[in-house]
Structure 1
Amino acid sequence: MESEALFDLHPASGSWHRQRRVGFDLETTSRFPSEARIVSAALVTCDPDDSASPRVREWLVDPGVEIPQETVEIHGISTEYAREHGQDAAEAVAELLAALTREFVSGAAVVVMNAPYDLAVLRGEADRYGLEFPTPKPIIDPLVIDKQVDKYRRGKRRLPDLCGVHGVQLAEAHSAAPDALAAVQVADCQAEKYPELQMPAHEIHALQMGWKADQAEDFQAYLRKQGKADAVIDGAWPL
């Protein structure tokens, strides 16, 4: 399939990057969303009409399970620290879901780097505690956008890498609040560098669905050419 190419687009009024944006990030117990539990979460609101912007909301969570050392080395939150200082997981997840739901209902763009991971983890937590999961829309995913606007750039595409490309300062990589803010700043830079991305949030959300599907199809074709005949790459986005 082929979605609308970037060069077919034209800047539109009411661009998402000049309105209220909310960065969302999680730190978890596992890189596998099906088994990950939330350890910390952050929502960082960037609003041109708010003189106190950016505003940060954070949750430190006791996930109720052991936090593996390999993930402690990433985000620095140990099992003991989370148990002593963290909020009950069911309570924290309920608060986070309520806050995100309000943002989605308002139409604010929620910026999530590699959205399928964080949203899948949060949906799993919602299911675990019998909580309602909102329709995640509109989402801005700097990773999907980067692969669309700079398809042939060599190197990794993690958040620190994109920060380097766009000159965004990231003082504490793998901490929820700094990562959430940096994701918004990277997305803003992408919109300024590529004016074709300037449009209402719901429109670029829809475009990213097609872009992600195309990216997955291309990568799957590449892997199969490399001899991995059974390779299957999921193109679903944002979940």
Structure 2
Amino acid sequence: MTAWFEGRLAGFDLETTGVDVETDRIVTGCIVQCGGKQPTQSATWLADPGVDIPEGAAAVHGITTERARAEGRPAAEVVEQMVAALAECVLAGLPVVAMNASFDLTIVDREARRYGVQPLVDIVGGDLRVVDPRVLDKQVSRRKGRRTLSDLCDHYQVQLGDAHSADADAIAACRVAWRLGTTVEQLGAMSLDDLHQAQIKWAESQGRSLAAYFRRTPGKQAWADGVRTEWPFIPAQRAGGDA
């Protein structure tokens, strides 16, 4: 039986207008299919999010409001295509590899609801399987310090390329996931189904631990209330409904 990391992987990454999953919008996105002894295929999108892109966000991913309006496709069109592409991957049995998956998948969910697109979860149901390098790394590595994608790439000796470019980040996430599968026996030996279920529990535990840390850290106590423990996405009905 082929190990989960030896088969085809669907890397997924977004760049957005900000970090609030309920109100922020998709600017760029990429889905890259790689591995499984097949050629790499990628699909990328640039959206006009319909709102101004804050300077801080543009400084991270390089897409200004002016460029998005001039070159981007209508947001509703992008979201519909993105959900369809993700659904195709999931229904083909590919795991979605996403760094901090609960952010990207929740943003897509809210955008779909915003534009009247059938949400991914309603299309694929229980078939969704996700591999989140951030959750995996936090579970198996007790080292101190930051755990951004750049940090994980450095730690696992993976080439990142153009950081904060959706296509570069998507392929890098797949490479980190592959490295984790090949070097950590506990992870590599698990079936994809078992790995997915384990990450649900691990992410919840990690979220509770982070909230506890905030509560006991002067100046950060209020941050604890914003920590969410749901994974791989925050259900809309538990997040105040559609934004």
Tell me the residue number matched to 1:10.
none
Tell me the residue number matched to 2:61.
75
Alignment pair present for 1:164 and 2:157: no
Query: In 1, Cα distance between the equivalents of 2:8 and 2:104?
Result: 20
Query: In 1, Cα distance between the equivalents of 2:214 and 2:166?
Result: 32
- More relative contact order, 1 or 2 (CA 8 Å, 6+ apart): 1
Listed as ranges, the gaps of 5+ residues in structure 2 are: 234-243
Q: Residues 160 and 229 from structure 1, CA distance in 2 versus in 1: closer, same or farther, beyond 3 angstroms? A: closer
- The 5 Å alignment of 1:38-117 reads 38-50=26-38, 52=39, 54-117=40-103
The alpha carbon displacement at 1:132 in A equals 1.0
The question of whether the paired residues in 1 share the 8 Å contact of 2:211 and 2:223 is answered with no
Query: In 2, Cα distance between the equivalents of 1:100 and 1:76?
Result: 25
Identity across matched positions, percent: 40
The question of whether the paired residues in 2 share the 8 Å contact of 1:39 and 1:82 is answered with yes
Alignment pair present for 1:224 and 2:215: yes
Which amino acid is the alignment partner of residue 178 of structure 1? A
From the two aligned structures, give the one with the greater helix fraction: 2
From 225, 234, 237, the counterpart of 2:231 = 237
Tell me the residue number matched to 1:127.
113
From 197, 204, 217, the counterpart of 1:213 = 204
Number of residue pairs matched by the alignment:
224
Query: In 2, Cα distance between the equivalents of 1:60 and 1:225?
Result: 41
Q: Residues 231 and 29 from structure 1, CA distance in 2 versus in 1: closer, same or farther, beyond 3 angstroms? A: closer
The alpha carbon displacement at 1:229 in A equals 8.7
What is the CA deviation profile of residues 44-89 of structure 1, one whole-angstrom value per residue up to 9, with x for unaligned ones?
1013242x2x211101111111111111100001111111111111
Which amino acid is the alignment partner of residue 235 of structure 1? T
Listed as ranges, the gaps of 5+ residues in structure 1 are: 1-12
- The 5 Å alignment of 1:174-213 reads 174-198=164-188, 199-213=190-204
Normalised by the length of structure 2, the TM-score is: 0.87
Query: In 2, Cα distance between the equivalents of 1:216 and 1:124?
Result: 21
Query: In 2, Cα distance between the equivalents of 1:204 and 1:25?
Result: 20
What SS does the aligned partner of 1:157 have? coil
